[in-house]
Amino acid sequence: MREIEPVRLAELTTLRTGAAPEQMFETTTTAGLVEALRETWARGDEWFVLGGGSNLFVGDEPFEGTVIRVRTEGIEELPSPHQGRIRLRAQAGHGWDDLVAYAVAHGYAGLEAMSGIPGTVGAAPVQNIGAYGQEIQETLVEVELIDESTGEISTVSAAELGLGFRTSVLKHHHGSVPLRRAVILSVTVDLLIAGERVVRGEQLRRALGLTDETPVPLGWVRERILTTRASKGMLLDADDPDTHGVGSFFQNAIVTAAVARALPTECPRWPVAPDLDAVTVIPLASYDGMVPTSKPATVSDVKVSAAWLIEQAGIRKGFKLPRSRASVSTKHALALTNRGGATAGEVAELARFIQSRVHAEFGLVLQPEPVLVGVDL
């Protein structure tokens, strides 16, 4: 590890907000990352780790603590106990999309629908990232992590991470602390060895425009997903202010079936997939787009489209408050963007306005998706 001159977090985060912290370390090896964390914890400093900065909303005041940049990289191929599959272990600082590209290029299926998601591998299990019906929990085997309370390193199975819709025991939720304060060092996934696959998940089939069960190449799936994400401003582009954000700023709302029935019928909705029993590996050849229940189902919750709620509350693409440099993306109603020099205060003001409009119209409070540091919503 090495201590570096603190850099404005606006230069290291995709939403482009945040002042320089008191102290900053940069780590390129696992040993260096562990050393930096243990030293920081021993001093009792406030801290957070910074990967790609794509899911972080930092306030305007300097962070009074230590920021540790995680820049560890590397992918290791490991044997899988399941026939026709392979395991990949990636370091926490490795780019997530670089891991997906590696898997697709080598004919390893299971991550391709998550192409183009920004950020690092270490952040992926923290909020159980996913796209088009595919989530990391379907292929995640285990993570190696270090606990703040003990400073010890351990290997933790996916079953112990409390994975749910965009959440885990490691996630810093708005208004609360993680159930387990720890930092991921590496991630291991189990993938199907197949250069092409039959796509059965409904959301992914719809996104790809598929109408039959003809196998399609993984590379074709990846290209189509990247094209779709780019059209929505969800691929980072220095020259496109619609990408200067955190992707989806608000989570899709999770409501009871009764609440969902009270919403207009045209409001898009999907069943919330139950938590995956992580000792079960689902071969993609038989995956039908739904994670199997690990316990008897009761009344199912429903996921409703936050983007639809926002637009129906009168907030259109490109909306911004007077004299503000923050606006809703011109391509996607769920993305809040920095149009150039916006402060965290301006972004937060826009976010609160949207929350108030959706609450007034539908009685629902949209929850922010990024990790908030020095910001109150």
User: Which tens digit of pLDDT belongs to each residue from 308-317?
Assistant: 999 999 999 9
CATH code of residue 9? 3.30.43.10
Q: Rounded mean pLDDT of the chain?
A: 90
Same-domain pairing of 158 and 212: yes
Instruction: Count CB-CB contacts under 10 A for residue 119.
Output: 22
pLDDT for 295 equals: 42
Same-domain pairing of 185 and 332: no
Same-domain pairing of 31 and 159: no
Same-domain pairing of 55 and 84: no
- 189 DSSP β-pair partners: 88, 140
282 falls within a domain: no
Same-domain pairing of 90 and 225: yes
Q: Considering the entire predicted model, what is its pTM?
A: 0.87
What positions carry a catalytic annotation? Answer: 166, 248, 369
Same-domain pairing of 95 and 226: yes
Q: Which of 48, 6, 124, 61 is nearest to 348 (CA)?
A: 61
Domain range enclosing 326: 241-269+303-373
Decide: 58 and 14 in contact? Cβ < 8 Å. no
The count of domains in the chain is: 3
215 falls within a domain: yes
CATH code of residue 197? 3.30.465.10
CA distances for 279 relative to 187, 265, 292, angstroms = 16, 37, 12
Q: Cα–chain-centroid distance for residue 318?
A: 23
Same-domain pairing of 57 and 85: no
298 falls within a domain: no
- The β-bridge relationship of strands 85-91 and 75-79 is antiparallel
Report the C-alpha gap between 93 and 279 in whole angstroms. 26
Report the C-alpha gap between 157 and 175 in whole angstroms. 27
Same-domain pairing of 132 and 204: yes
Which residues, in sequence order, are CB contacts of 21 under 8 Å at separation 6+?
6, 9, 62, 63, 64, 65, 66, 67
- H helix runs in the chain, sequence order: 30-43, 96-105, 202-208, 218-231, 257-262, 306-312, 344-362
Query: How does pLDDT run along the chain (377 residues), one tens digit per residue?
Result: 899 999 999 999 999 999 999 999 999 999 999 999 999 999 999 999 999 999 999 999 999 999 999 999 999 999 999 999 999 999 999 999 999 999 999 999 999 999 999 999 999 999 899 988 889 999 999 999 999 999 999 999 999 999 987 889 998 765 567 889 999 999 999 999 999 999 988 888 988 999 988 999 999 999 999 999 999 999 999 999 999 999 999 999 999 999 999 999 999 998 776 433 333 344 444 434 434 444 443 457 899 999 999 999 999 999 999 999 999 999 999 999 999 999 999 999 999 999 999 999 999 999 998 989 999 98
What the block records as the tokens of 132 is 């088009």
